[in-house]
DNA sequence: ACTTGGATAAACAAGT
DNA sequence: TACTTGTTTATCCAAG
């Protein structure tokens, strides 16, 4: 991230050398700039932190189904910060314009607003300086038409040229009676705020007190540097925000999206929140409709959040796998890529995972260490906090009767007593109108069997909210189909080599 | 309000 | 001694 301190000492020295200001004036100027820069820096620090939070949540909740209020809240806050940054930048631009220096800065600032690259800016800067020197030689009486034309032409290409109230333009503004430096009877020149009864007296004041001089020039130069930095930062932050929004919204429509969970229920049924309990901000209520509201402002984004992309932070521990183990098997296999690339807790109970690990092995038996390996191999999530989940694995192995310890020559292995396992999992598959609606929206795609089977889950009413419509369901279905067709289904037959470690998550 | 199931933490013992 | 494996107990939380 570029900081306002990116103005090099050399640049600053150059700026200062080109003006004839008193040290007090210079100090005041710099203080003003520093205050603004500090303000923006703080904002951006906060913005950055929030982005990290958001990223963390996205990673950890990829499998949660409900759109997370926390996530969208942070998104909304980030957008608000963007607005603030923009506002600060506009303030800078306005300050620049208020200098009333030349028509050149007008072109420059409006060009800056379009995201000028440093090289261009340097060129403009040079031209500005040249123009100014030329003007000085001419006794500061006539502008430099060629330069002005060039630069104005440049600015006119962007279609966003804001009419800037340069000193020379102010006479035109007189006709209209509207002057950006004159508002509500007050002179809006920075630090002035003089009150005038009529526009004429304001103009006199403007021409006498805020004439083109070295002070204004110096202010403009400092401001231009600041604006440059702000523009760059804003562009970067905007880009980041766009990427975030795109990540949250349009994944299912992208030609080759990052790995996404295939099974809808993986997203509907939430794994327990992985955010530490010490995070009080995560205790927000879960709303399926609220998150979409701050996000619909971007026209290129769908107005509906597709639940494959948003994840709730709610501490809901319900895992569908214990009821629908077949769906779980398919989920793990089909989402192998996803689990390997996203540090997301799988929405399965430890017992279900252990069983899956054991059943995937050729001998249907694994040592504890092999179970550990399966966890870390299959889920990126379990490559962290080993002490916690390993303890849980051992705890589950001991606790549940469905796991039978068998003494072996090499040691002890664990097997699954499927009968016992089925005992503790009452199969209660009941259809609901909502499920049928969703299924009809998805069409009778045979590849969605996992989805359909797993759909029959109590958490489905989430989709009854306004956050998901038929169009997004269709998009989801196509995304699911695409994803599923890219997977081979014959893996997982070996306990130790079915899956390979993914070095770096793609997220 | 109560029960149940799951996650988590931790104490403890036995074995390596 | 340090670590692993396995058992057990307790607590918290969400869901039914």
Summarised one tens digit per residue, pLDDT across range A115-165 is: 333 343 344 344 444 444 444 444 443 333 333 332 333 333 233 333 333
From the CA of A280 to the C1' of C4: give the distance in Å. Answer: 36
Q: Which of A104, A112, A161, A111 is nearest to A134 (CA)?
A: A104
Are A183 and A138 spatial neighbours (Cβ–Cβ below 8 Å)? no
Q: What is the pLDDT of residue A426?
A: 55
Q: Determine the straight-line distance between the first and last CA of chain A, rounded to whole angstroms.
A: 20
From the CA of A28 to the C1' of C12: give the distance in Å. Answer: 58
- Residue A13 in this model has a pLDDT that exceeds 50: no
Domain covering A319-497+503-507 in this structure, CATH number: 1.10.10.10
Asked if the Cβ of residue A411 lies within 7 A of any atom of strand C, the reply is yes
Q: What is the pLDDT of residue A217?
A: 59
Asked if the Cβ of residue A395 lies within 7 A of any atom of strand C, the reply is yes
Query: Mind listing the pLDDT tens digit for each residue in A45-94?
Result: 555 555 555 555 544 444 333 344 444 455 555 555 555 555 555 554 44
Task: Name the DSSP class of A496.
Answer: T
Q: What is the pLDDT of residue A423?
A: 79
Q: What is the pLDDT of residue A439?
A: 31
Asked if the Cβ of residue A412 lies within 7 A of any atom of strand C, the reply is yes
- Within 7 A of a protein CB, which nucleotides of strand B? 5-11
Of all nucleotides, the one whose C1′ comes closest to residue A351's CA is B6
Are A312 and A65 spatial neighbours (Cβ–Cβ below 8 Å)? yes
Residue A276 makes CB contacts below 8 A (sequence gap 6+) with: none
Show contacts of A201-209: CB within 8 Å, 24+ apart.
A203/A170, A203/A174, A203/A179, A206/A100, A206/A167, A206/A170, A206/A179, A206/A181, A206/A182, A207/A167, A207/A170
Of A101-110, A195-204, A226-235, A427-436, the range with the lowest mean pLDDT is: A427-436
Query: Mind listing the pLDDT tens digit for each residue in A164-216?
Result: 333 333 343 434 456 777 877 877 776 677 788 788 887 887 777 777 766 66
From the CA of A397 to the C1' of C5: give the distance in Å. Answer: 11
Of all nucleotides, the one whose C1′ comes closest to residue A272's CA is B7
Q: Which of A369, A364, A326, A372 is nearest to A348 (CA)?
A: A326
Q: What is the pLDDT of residue A6?
A: 39
Q: What is the pLDDT of residue A433?
A: 27
From the CA of A59 to the C1' of B7: give the distance in Å. Answer: 20
- Residue A358 in this model has a pLDDT that exceeds 90: yes
Of all nucleotides, the one whose C1′ comes closest to residue A321's CA is B6
Query: Mind listing the pLDDT tens digit for each residue in A280-298?
Result: 333 222 332 223 222 222 2
From the CA of A14 to the C1' of C2: give the distance in Å. Answer: 65
- Cα–Cα distance between A61 and A71 in angstroms, integer? 10
- Cα–Cα distance between A438 and A195 in angstroms, integer? 65
From the CA of A348 to the C1' of C3: give the distance in Å. Answer: 29
Q: Which of A70, A80, A68 is nearest to A467 (CA)?
A: A68
* HSE (side-chain half, CA atoms, 13 Å) at A354: 31
Q: Give the residue whose CA sits closest to B15 at C1'.
A: A411
Residues of chain A with CATH 1.10.10.10: 319-497+503-507
Of all nucleotides, the one whose C1′ comes closest to residue A349's CA is B6
Q: What is the pLDDT of residue A85?
A: 54
Q: Which of A317, A307, A327, A316 is nearest to A429 (CA)?
A: A327
DSSP A428-474: -----HHHHHHHHHH---GGGHHHHHHH-STTGGGGGSTT--HHHHH
Of all nucleotides, the one whose C1′ comes closest to residue A367's CA is C5
Of all nucleotides, the one whose C1′ comes closest to residue A399's CA is C7
What is the mean pLDDT of the segment spanning A363-377?
A: 94
- Residue A486 in this model has a pLDDT that exceeds 60: no
From the CA of A328 to the C1' of B12: give the distance in Å. Answer: 35
Query: Mind listing the pLDDT tens digit for each residue in A325-347?
Result: 456 666 777 777 788 877 888 88
């Amino acid at each position: 991230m570029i900081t306002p301190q990116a103005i090099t000492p050399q640049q600053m020295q150059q700026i200062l050398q080109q003006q004839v200001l008193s040290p007090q004036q210079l100090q005041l100027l710099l203080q003003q700039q520093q205050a603004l820069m500090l303000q923006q820096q703080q904002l951006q620090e906060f913005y950055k932190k929030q982005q990290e939070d958001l990223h963390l949540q996205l990673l950890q909740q990829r499998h949660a189904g409900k759109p997370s209020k926390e996530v969208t809240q942070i998104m909304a806050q980030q957008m608000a910060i963007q607005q603030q940054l923009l506002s600060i930048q506009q303030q800078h631009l306005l300050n620049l314009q208020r200098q009333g220096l030349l028509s050149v800065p007008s072109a420059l600032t409006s060009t800056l607003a379009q995201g000028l690259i440093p090289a261009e800016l340097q060129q403009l800067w040079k031209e500005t300086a040249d123009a100014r020197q030329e003007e000085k030689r001419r006794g500061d009486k006539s502008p430099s038409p060629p330069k002005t034309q060039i630069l104005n032409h440049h600015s006119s290409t962007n279609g966003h040229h804001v009419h800037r109230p340069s000193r020379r333009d102010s006479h035109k503004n007189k006709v209209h009676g509207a002057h950006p430096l004159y508002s509500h009877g007050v002179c809006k020149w920075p630090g002035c705020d003089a009150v005038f009864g009529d526009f004429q007296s304001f103009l006199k004041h403007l021409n006498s007190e805020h004439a083109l001089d070295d002070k204004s020039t110096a202010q403009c130069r400092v401001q231009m540097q600041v604006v440059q930095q702000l523009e760059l930062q804003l562009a970067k932050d905007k880009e980041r925000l766009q990427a975030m929004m795109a990540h949250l919204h349009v994944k299912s429509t992208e030609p080759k999206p990052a790995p996404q969970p295939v099974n809808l229920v993986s997203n509907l049924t939430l794994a327990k929140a992985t955010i530490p309990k010490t995070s009080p901000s995560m205790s927000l209520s879960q709303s399926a409709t609220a998150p979409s509201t701050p996000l619909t402002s971007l026209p290129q984004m769908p107005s509906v959040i597709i639940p494959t992309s948003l994840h709730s932070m709610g501490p809901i521990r319900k895992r569908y796998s214990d009821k629908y183990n077949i769906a779980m098997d398919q989920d793990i296999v089909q989402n192998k890529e996803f689990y390997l690339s996203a540090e997301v807790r799988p929405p399965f109970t430890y017992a279900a995972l252990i069983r899956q690990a054991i059943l995937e092995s050729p001998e249907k038996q694994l040592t504890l260490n092999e179970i550990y390996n399966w966890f870390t191999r299959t889920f990126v999530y379990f490559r962290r906090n080993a002490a916690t989940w390993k303890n849980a694995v051992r705890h589950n192995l001991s606790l549940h009767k469905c796991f039978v310890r068998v003494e072996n020559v090499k040691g002890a292995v664990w097997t699954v007593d499927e009968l016992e396992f089925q005992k503790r999992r009452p199969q209660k598959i009941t259809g609901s109108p909502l499920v049928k609606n969703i299924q009809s929206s998805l069409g009778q795609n045979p590849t969605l069997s996992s989805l359909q089977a797993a759909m029959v889950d109590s958490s489905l009413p989430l989709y009854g909210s306004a956050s998901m419509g038929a169009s997004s369901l269709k998009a989801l279905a196509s995304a699911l189909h695409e994803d599923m067709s890219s997977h081979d289904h014959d893996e997982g037959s070996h306990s130790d080599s079915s899956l390979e470690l993914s070095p770096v998550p793609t997220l």
